[in-house]
Structure 1
Amino acid sequence: MPAVPLPSPGGPPSSTQETTSLGALSPFGPTPLPVAPDGAGASTLDSRALAAALSEVVRGEVRFDKGTRGAYSTDASNYRQIPIGVVVPRSVDDVIAAVAVCRRFGAPVFSRGGGTSLGGQCTNTAVMLDMAKYLDGIESVDDKARIAVVQPGIVLDELNKVTRARYQIMFGPRPATHTHCTIGGMLGNNSCGSTAQWSGTTAQNVRRLEVLTYDGERMWVGPTDEQQYQEILRAGGRRAEIYRSLRELVDRYADDIRARYPDIPRRISGYNLPDLLPENGFNVARALVGTESTCVTILRAELNMLPEPPSLCLLMVGYQDIAAVGDRVMTAHQFHPYMIEGLDHRLLEYERGRRLNMPALHELPEVGAWLYVKTIGDSLDQARDRAGALLARLQDEGGVIAWRIYDEEAEQERMDKVRDVALGATSRVPGRLDTWPGWEDSAVPPERLGGYLRELRNLLDDHNYDEAPLYGHFGQGCVHTSIPFDLVTASGIGKFRSFVTRAAELVVNYGGSLSGEHGDGQARGELLPIMYGDRLVRAFDEFKAIFDPDNRMNPGKVVHANPIDSQLRLGVDWRPVSPDTHFDYPDDGGFPGATLRCFGVGDCRRRDSGTEVMCPSYVVTHEEEHSTRGRMRLLNEMMRGELITDGWRSTEVHDALDLCLACKGCKRDCPVGVDVATYKAEFLAHHYQRRLRPLTHYSLGWLPLVARLAAPVPFLANAATQTPVLSRLAKAVAGIDPRRSIPRFASRRFTDSFRRRGNRGDGHRGRVVLWPDTFSNSMQPHIAASATVVLEAAGFEVIVPERTVCCGLTWISTGQLKIAEWVARRSLDVLIPYLREGVPVVGLEPSCTSVLRSDLVELLDGDVDAVRLREQTFTLSELLNKRAADFTPRVSTQDGSLPAAIVQKHCHQHAILGFEQDQALMARIGLEPQVLASGCCGLAGDFGMTTDHREVSLACAERVLLPAVREADPTTVVLADGFSCRTQIDGAGTGRGSVHLAEVLAAAVRGQQLGPYPERVVGVR
């Protein structure tokens, strides 16, 4: 692809507009901005007038409401500052217009990408520019020169997905948050990641930046030779003033810069003044990388791209302790690897405690620490040979306890996850103290790493932080850790300050940097004099003042930094309300603790296709309030009672939770296992206490009772819901979208048929209770009938409860928890005789089965029989695999080929039940289906049945599911175990129906040939 000319920057906005000052500010001694009692913004600033002025000129979104501000109140750090407001620009012109308005009002400004900063860079009492929603374009790619021009909001993986597919090039630095971090955020922090061993830091891969100063100067910056410098001076104006001042600054401090900056691969702390030295090309762009939005706003970036590494091989070598791993880093360097990482046994223990990456961890012997090296080669054989040669060298040096070599890409990806989830794995582990950032990414010369690790471990032990793991990018001397700081008591916060101060002194003694990856922000800004001395810190002040003389760009970060123990997310004032709740939260010490689970890493902001997308509504809306993280922020603000003051009655929290589909993807995929579906049910229970509810809470929320009442006269119920005129009336009364179809009631319930017919299995494998959920019993009884045929053929005696049972799902999802508890206890009483005899319970509907396996224990306060039910509940696949392994009916087609099938995995199968057993059973019966990477179908019980939710519901389905169904061959079986999934597929105009796995198994048992619609077992005769 030929190079595309860069767009013209255009004329800068006028810089002569009047500014309403918030207070006299000097470049070298700013007066702190006065803050309102709720932290909502500067008290002298008219935020309403500011919001109105922004709305007049910004085409994007201007949000000054409490809900938005609460959702953006913190990042992944220890700090919390409520923004004045949030602007979501649609274009670069919006950014320029927004900054101009903020300048007129004197309002401070900063930019945000993925919001995952650990140093507090992305939380401030300022106007936040959220670049991630719309400014995510790739503007040009020159594949021959390996250059790309991008907007700041583009996500790293999305950029690389395009450029790797089309041009086999990529942006090299790859932080652990690569699935959702933005290029703008990487530029702000000078991000690195594990691949920086090969690629270098973000700054080292930047060619030019288009930037905007607070006073309105818009310009492209980059390396500047003498001729270019003189041309800039001759042109005059603000740009010339900036360049002249930068040259004077670097001339004044050149000797200090050369003497005091550590010459190490991961020197991220402080401003990049060495890039302004003449020997480094007076590179203004690279000097601005890592300034954390304290100097300029980045509008575009011109990046150097790298060819993909041809072949990689992973070598893992076990040692007695992490310091021994550090001692071997320079040996690994001799083989010029792609990455060199280290991880100690504590990190792996944290992951085992959270049951993360268990298949990978099972492969690793328990040793003190692992050296993790990826060798690179032109071919896989060459990469493997280099790994073998490195292993031999390490074995000669001694100390090797164990080793593993992985040359397959899938194996390497599995092991990569062990390292990628480290931050989440160590943050909120049941039975352990909560850990926090604060000293999480120091860096030293790699050749001195072993000694530093020993002294850092001693320092941690001296402060009783002995549980803190040590791991990181050891090839470049960068050490990560998560420390159990006490950030609530005065003594704990004092110990936190003492530790980070002594740790800063230690790393400087080793010739290192306070930060080797995450930047300074507020967490390390106050400590910079320890590393650089007062004179160079004064140079930082002057550097910022050249671009931002009034200190309006992200004030209080890096220079003139707020104290490291101020604006804490917790702090000595942390005293949340402790409400009575319906669910038990034993791992969190109650509901307030549950709202602190989220620490902000932002995995919920992934947009890529696949079940790892944990938050379907966020993927559709790209709204922070609809991410798992945003919802948790608001729940926490509700518990604090400062910004959100009306507690459970809060409309802001209600609106954020409203688009939660209760898919429970976060419970499975969030690194700390937050469970927004449960928190939403809890919130709704209190929010609507003694108040009228939405109509669907009464109609669909009480569906099991409606189905019970309709059972004697299903034809009357169907007449009311299926005939055109009555159907429209019924939908209006029930609050259902008129374009949705109300499911029909069966002419006879499964339980009624079964009681007439009785069990016909020989029972040589024992008894099982078949759980007659509302959907499989009253609406689609052919599924329960099919399951009965299968279970009896497998040798089980099938039992169906004599009395009506229900898990309470529909009441739980609508927050009617008192009724749900009553229903659950009543059903549990029915099952007690079977549970106490150890009889397994088989569930067919994934959402109902997941309630039996998960929610019921918490709802019933750990009732012993509820625990028994959880342990004795199986899916059909689990039971057949574990207790009837020799039962192998085979599916067949007319031509004898393998049956074609696509599978919509129910979100609760993914999140709670697991899907591995289903896949194993399909393989046993000769079915090799394509499992769609679609996530939630979007209907999600009552969610997609309402007009307000219809658009989001269908958008979730249109991501992957519905296109795949439409494109499938007419002979392909569409498998979907969830009633909601089948309803969404059947009712979305695909022209296709879908079936339950039980129906496929019944067809195999009966020797029927498998087509798109297996012959249904209509009843149990």
Structure 2
Amino acid sequence: MDGEVRFDPGSRGAYATDASNYRQVPIGVVVPHSVEAGVAAIDVCARHGAPVLSRGGGTSLGGQCTNVAVVIDWSKYCHRLISVDAEAQTCVVEPGIVLDELNGQLAPYGLEFGPRPSTHSHCALGGMLGNNACGATAQRSGKTDENIVALEILTHAGDRWWAGPTSDEELERILADGGPRADVHRGLHEVAERYGELIRARFPDIPRRVSGYNLNALLPESSFDVGRLIVGSEGTLATILRAELKLMPTVAHTSMVVLGYDDITAAADAVPTILEQSDPIVLEGVDSQLINFEAAEHIGEDARSMLPDGTAWLLIQFGGETAEEADRRVEELLEALGRSEHDARVNFSDDPAKEEKLWKAREAGLGATARPPGMPDTWPGWEDSAVPPERLGDYLRDLKSLFHEFDLGDPAMYGHFGQGCVHIRIPFDMVTADGVSDFRRFLESAAELVTSYGGSLSGEHGDGQARGELLETMFGAEIVHAFGEVKALFDPRNLMNPGKVVQPNRLDENLRLGSEWDPTPYRTKFQYPGDDGSFTRATMRCVGIGNCRSQDGGVMCPSYMVTKEEEHSTRGRARLLYEMLSPHEDSPIKDGWRSTEVRDALDLCLSCKGCKTDCPVNVDMATYKAEFLHQHYKGRVRPAAHYSMGWLPLLARIASQAPRLVNRVLSTPILSTIGKRLAGIAIERETPAFAHQTFLAWWSEHSAGRPEPDPRAATTVVVWPDTFTNRFDPHIGCAAVALLESAGFDVTIPDASVCCGLTWVSTGQLSVAERVFRHTLAVLRPWLEAGTPIIGLEPSCTAVFRTDMPEMLPDDKMVQRLSAQTRTMAEFLLEHAPQDWEPPQVRRPALVQTHCHQHAVMGFDADLELMRRAGIDAEVPDSGCCGLAGNFGFEKGHYDVSMACAERVLLPAVRDASPETLVIADGFSCRTQIAQGNTRRTAVHLAEVLADGLEADDAR
């Protein structure tokens, strides 16, 4: 077939689970290059009797995207928007297209696909169709099944047709044509006739019934719509090859009001009145528990400031053709409720930027509740039940009572309250026999509770394995039998995603953890203080949300953005680390720390640390990679680049004894090529030139005759002479000294040879890194004991002091002091400069590349504020990691990925920048990538820009 066929252990391990509690190792993975290639793959599976699982983004919470089957991953290549009919407001798509990408392409038409789950940046339309996805915007649009025209489907046996509403005349024609399609339609018509009255009686008439097959779509009043039947069937009936979708006009203007309440049940009680008085396009509820979790995890700080008084809130958004129309609808609701925008429990906004911040905080709910700091881990299982909106308050009260009955505390509650759907992650005990037994008993009780309210087991995430076994409680035995009849019509051999929805696996088997979970503890170099000192627990931070599979935006995950490979996402790597440590006998990763599959998956991790901040559960793959490399190569010969790049500080120290000679050798084509090959460096790379005079040598001259500043004096600061500043770009250090001295500070610099240890950390030489750490602490001890600020100029080195060193030596008091006393130049000046100090006025536009480690560890707000005060009009492109990422972009085999990362946003932005626009990049890697990226521009450090401003001020 025309595609990528992968039956290797690494691929099987990466696809062994989704975002649920369940794990099943697939037979293999197929990535078709086209829809027709996918058809060919399913034909092969049919001939060999192999089960098939179609997969999009793989974020399912019910276990429907994990199975012992051949996984067809449509997301890498089958992602075309085939056609758009703007007049009819429809389009045709392939199953792998991501929702945000689709809506981006539809934007010029003023149209969009309405349902928008919180995973919109990476969820595929095929997955949305399989799961009947909804999201907050379903308040306006309805569920996915309400937004389709027809689906092109393929059965496991190879029968293929377009399924949609079927008139009596068309049904007669289909039956007359005969064949498998006729057999399916005849059988479906019989099911509709035989079970029609029971379907009308047992299917809840609520906005968010996602559980079970859509048998109601087969009724005459629903136009015998076989397409809608397929939606939400979770790949158990047929494969969706293409879909014709209904589109909606985009909302021109929006306004939002946030209403505060005493608790989440009171907020739920208010929903029916709001729906009676208004027609919002979004109506969401959140409680204070969720907000507290987000505060502890530093999520949505700006959004939290927009919440009015209360301990629970409703977020209500209105749309209109004009801003005035949207505002008026808010005002009308407030008047109907007897409230005003000036009330303490009301916050009104018509600022799209503020509204977006609120939505991002709301969409972070799953991540924020998965690993709440200082609390037990939480799990899905009963995370999306739905009831009639008018009964939501009472349901939540009874649900809270059920939590207390099972000693589960008060989990955070939030969700789509306007449609009666509530999201909850619950602190189940998933690792003991008693805990798993209680998990089962709770779900059985919860199923009875929601059914008593006329609700649905699932209001958004589907059944899969988590709720398939409970469908009889909700629908009764006869309807469940009808589901089986429908399944048999499409898939008589039970080879389409078996064990889900129909004849389901038990809800307490195939657990990712389970009562037999007892992984081997390992002694590691990093101590993982945020994960109980356990590397295993650290790798289990990943709960499968899949934000690392975003197509663009943010820093995480640069390698996935350019390769579109699951193994190259943060999630895929975390899955393989989990499998490596897993006690499961069927794990495809058999050789632990020596695993070549894990090594290869980590090889294209740039160690950018973007996931440390961008991942909702703060997976830190850069640290995990360093730990793995340390363990993997322990007692073994390493790749050449680990010696050449890892030991760069020492080699640079030697080279600085004769920099002109070394530069001449490195620039000689033949010698340079030989040297790069021996050193494991990409031959495409230019070797940066060593400075003729180091920063330390300059400092020795600059400070000659001066007394050493008193470490305890309030004006004393230490500028850290990192290897890159000291030996490659000393002019940056000189500029920083000039700037700090102009602000009234007494600068000093360690005169001993020092290093932060970054290059040894990034290459996994952690024993050496620890020795370097301890030497650095000894040199800095007088200043650390005195509380002297340490100023870092290279973001990656500064980040080592702030995070890597404390994670390796968390109990060392000097490490704690160093982490607390280390500041970026901008942070220090904003915090400690005299009140009457103002930065020099530059008054120029600038294109600014944020170093990925600064983004992840220190943040960039201080730099932006300092630039604002200096009159720099900063444009910060959403470029993510520059792609060089320290040693990564220099290593053999990484050049293409490195440049692809840079070409995605950064390098085109630099080329497009006007001549008068400064290009600012504080990171040595970022500046090097720009210099070597055919931009004809030289990037400068912020210290240089401000120091030049000093000279300009003096000249004036």
Post-superposition shift, 1:366?
A: 5.6
Separation in 2, partners of 1:256, 1:926 = 71
What does residue 488 of structure 1 align with? 431
SS in 1 for 2:445: helix
Q: Note if contact 2:171-2:185 (Cα within 8 Å) is conserved in structure 1.
A: yes
Measured at CA, do residues 899 and 397 of structure 1 come closer, stay the same or move farther in structure 2, by a change above 3 Å? closer
**Contact 1:121–1:521 (Cα < 8 Å) also in 2:** yes
d(CA) in 2 for partners of 1:411, 1:556: 44
2:306 is equivalent to residue 363 of structure 1: yes
Matched, 1:813 2:762: yes
Name the CA distance, whole Å, in 2 between partners of 1:383 and 1:490: 54
1:594 aligns with 2:538: yes
- Structure 2 residue 250 is the aligned partner of structure 1 residue 308: yes
Cα distance in 2 for residues equivalent to 1:592 and 1:798: 44
SS in 2 for 1:479: strand
For residue 183 of structure 1, what is the aligned residue in structure 2?
125
Q: Give CA deviations for 1:963-1019 in whole Å, capped at 9, x if unaligned.
A: 111222223221111101111111122222111111001001111799xxxxxxxxx
Q: Is residue 2:784 matched to residue 1:835?
A: yes
Q: Kindly provide the amino acid, as one letter, of the partner of residue 871 in structure 1.
A: A
CA contact (8 A) 1:132 1:154 kept: yes
Once the two structures are superposed, the pairs formed by residues 428-439 of structure 1 within 5 Å of their partners are 428-439=371-382
1:987, 1:290 → 2: CA distance? 49
Name the aligned partner's letter for residue 544 of structure 2.
G
Is there any run of 5+ residues in structure 2 with no aligned partner, and where?
A: none
* Distance in structure 1 (CA, Å) of the matches to 2:677 and 2:13: 35
In the alignment, is residue 471 of structure 1 matched against residue 420 of structure 2?
no
Asked if 2 retains the 8 angstrom alpha-carbon contact of 1:696 and 1:735, the reply is yes
1:769 equivalent in alignment to 2:718: yes
C-alpha distance in 1 between matches for 2:764 and 2:594? 14
SS where residue 844 of structure 2 aligns? coil
CA shift, 1:359, in A, is 1.7
Q: Which of 902, 907, 923 matches 1:978?
A: 923
Mapping for residues 40-59 of structure 1, pairs under 5 Å: 58-59=1-2
| 1:325 aligns to 2:270 (yes or no) | no
Aligned partner of 1:714 in structure 2 is 659
**5+ unaligned residues in a row in structure 1: which ranges?**
1-57, 893-897, 1011-1021
* Cα distance, 1:383 vs structure 2: 1.6
Partner of 2:230: 288
CA distance in 1, matches of 2:344, 2:210: 34
| Alignment match, 2:870 | 925
For 1:998, the equivalent position in structure 2 comes to 943
| Kept in 1: contact 2:262–2:310 (CA 8 A) | yes
Q: Residue 928 of structure 1: SS of its match in structure 2?
A: strand
Q: Residue 253 of structure 1 aligns with which residue?
A: 195
Q: How does 1:689-838 map to 2 (within 5 A)?
A: 689-758=634-703, 766-838=715-787
Shift, 1:747, TM fit: 1.3
**Which of residues 854, 861, 866 is equivalent to 1:909?**
854
Question: Counterparts of 2:221 and 2:671 in 1: how far apart (Å)?
Answer: 82
* C-alpha distance in 2 between matches for 1:613 and 1:973: 22
Q: Is the 8 A contact 2:334 2:340 kept in 1?
A: no
Report the Cα offset of residue 735 of structure 1: 1.6
Moved more, 92-101 or 660-669: 92-101
Checking the alignment, whether the CA contact within 8 Å between 2:140 and 2:282 is kept in structure 1 is yes
Determine the C-alpha separation between the residues in 2 that align with 1:308 and 1:576.
50
Shift of residue 397 of structure 1? 13
**Structure 1 residue corresponding to 2:887, chosen from 934, 942, 951:** 942
Which has the larger displacement, 814-823 or 722-731? 722-731
| Alpha-carbon spacing, 1:943–1:1008, altered in 2? closer, same or farther (3 Å) | farther
Cα distance in structure 1, aligned partners of 2:196 and 2:702: 92
Partner of 1:11: none
Separation (CA, whole Å) in 2 of partners of 1:591 and 1:739: 36
Provide the C-alpha distance between the structure 1 equivalents of 2:250 and 2:306, rounded to a whole number of angstroms.
28
Q: 2:485 aligns with which of 515, 521, 542?
A: 542
CA contact (8 A) 1:578 1:592 kept: yes
Query: Is contact 2:80–2:93 with CA below 8 Å preserved after alignment?
Result: yes
Q: Distance in 1 between matches of 2:314 and 2:673?
A: 66
| Mapped pair 1:606 → 2:556 | no
Q: 1:119-268 to 2 correspondence within 5 Å?
A: 119-164=62-107, 166-268=108-210
For 1:886 and 1:627, how far apart are their aligned partners in 2?
A: 48
Count of matched residue pairs: 944
Quick check: 1:332–1:373 contact (8 Å CA) kept in 2? no
| Aligned position for 1:411 | 354
Q: Name the structure 2 match of 1:99.
A: 42
Verify the 8 A CA contact 2:555 2:881 in the aligned structure 1. Answer: no
Letter in 2 for 1:163: L
- For 1:650, give the aligned amino acid: S
Structure 2 match to 1:426:
369
The offset of 1:74, in angstroms, is: 0.3
Deviation of the 1:389 alpha carbon: 2.3
Counterpart Cα distance in 2 of 1:953 and 1:120: 35
Q: 1:277 aligned to 2:228?
A: no
1:321–1:369 Cα contact (<8 Å) kept: yes
Q: Say whether the 8 Å CA contact 1:319–1:401 is kept in structure 2.
A: no
**Distance between the aligned counterparts of 2:113 and 2:145, measured in 1?**
12
Deviation digits for residues 533-583 of structure 1 (CA, Å, limit 9, x no counterpart): 000000000011110011000000001000000000000111112111000
Q: How far 1:319 sits from its partner (Å)?
A: 0.7
8 Å contact from structure 1 (residues 880, 887) kept in 2:
no
C-alpha displacement of 1:396? 6.6
Matched to 1:132, the amino acid is S
SS at match of 1:373: strand
Preserved CA contact (<8 Å) 1:322 1:344: yes
Cα 1:265/1:556, change in 2 over 3 Å: same
Counterpart of 1:617 in structure 2 is 559
Aligned counterpart, 1:6: none
Q: Per-residue displacement from partner, 1:354-411 (whole Å, max 9, x unpaired)?
A: 111112113325622111111222322222222122223334799x971111111001
Distance 2:432 2:337 in 1: 46
Contact preservation (8 Å) 2:280, 2:318? yes
1:910-935 per-residue CA deviation (whole Å, 9 max, x = no partner) reads 11111111010111111102112111
Aligned to 2:461: 518
Give CA deviations for 1:24-49 in whole Å, capped at 9, x if unaligned.
xxxxxxxxxxxxxxxxxxxxxxxxxx
Aligned residue identity for 2:538: A
Is 1:645 the counterpart of 2:595? The answer is no
| Structure 2 counterpart of 1:449, from 387, 392, 400 | 392
Letter in 1 for 2:865: A
CA distance in 2, matches of 1:678, 1:900: 36
Is the partner of 1:442 in helix, strand or coil?
coil
**Distance in 2 separating the partners of 1:151 and 1:395:** 49
The residue type equivalent to 1:79 in the other structure is Y
Inter-partner Cα distance in structure 2 for 1:319 and 1:785: 56
Q: Is 1:378–2:291 an aligned residue pair? A: no
Counterpart amino acid of 1:800? I
* Equivalent position of 1:26 in the other structure: none
1:342 to 269, 274, 285: 285
1:887 is aligned to: 837
What is the TM-score of this pair, normalised by structure 2? 0.97
Supply the AA of the counterpart residue of 1:652.
E
1:836 maps to a residue whose letter is E
Residue of structure 2 in register with 1:24 after alignment: none
The answer (yes or no) to whether the contact 1:1003–1:1009 under 8 Å persists in 2 is no
Q: Could you report, residue by residue, the CA deviation over 1:719-745 in whole angstroms, capped at 9, with x for unpaired residues?
A: 332223322222222121222111111
Instruction: Write the distance in 1 (CA, Å) between the matches of 2:597 and 2:954.
Output: 54
Over aligned residues, Cα RMSD in angstroms? 1.6
SS at match of 1:318: strand
- Displacement, 1:716? 2.8
Paired amino acid for 1:197: Q
Residue 686 of structure 1 aligns with an amino acid whose one-letter code is: Q
